[in-house]
């Protein structure tokens, strides 16, 4: 892209000012909308009763502030092989609307987390 713009300027097909604006004007990042709720789905294939209980328990979205309060008690300060994300990054992901995390374990348990 940059080579094409410079080539057009060299061939006088583009003015130097428009070339400069194209190359050096910072692009605006999209506005991130804040999330207010988290929706959880947990499926355990060997335990249909537990899966139904969790579906009823998490049928309504959970407010973000409740999840953040619960995360304040969890110790995730350093990254590990089990969870390659630290607590600060996790809280940043919770603030953005539209984040979707799918977890599938070896024993068939599936967890879906969405921010709304």
Give 22-48 pLDDT, tens digit per residue.
Answer: 888 777 777 778 899 999 999 999 999
| 1 or 70: which leads in pLDDT | 70
Q: Which pTM value belongs to this model?
A: 0.62
Each domain of the chain, given as residue ranges in start order, spans 1-29, 37-115
| Tally: H helices and E strands in the chain | 5, 4
Cα–Cα distance for residue pair 116/113, rounded to 1 Å = 10
Predicted confidence at residue 52, as pLDDT, reads: 95
Q: Tally Cβ neighbours within 10 Å of residue 86.
A: 13
């Amino acid at each position: 892209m940059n080579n094409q713009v410079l080539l057009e300027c060299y061939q006088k097909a583009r003015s130097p000012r428009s070339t400069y604006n194209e190359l050096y004007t910072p692009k605006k990042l999209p506005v991130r909308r804040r999330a207010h709720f988290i929706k959880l789905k947990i499926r355990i294939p060997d335990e249909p009763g537990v899966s139904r209980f969790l579906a009823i328990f998490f049928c309504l979205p959970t407010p973000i502030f409740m999840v953040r309060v619960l995360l304040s008690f969890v110790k995730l300060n350093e990254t590990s092989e089990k969870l390659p994300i630290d607590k600060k990054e996790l809280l940043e992901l919770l603030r953005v609307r539209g984040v979707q995390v799918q977890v599938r374990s070896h024993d068939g348990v599936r967890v879906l987390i969405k921010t709304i």
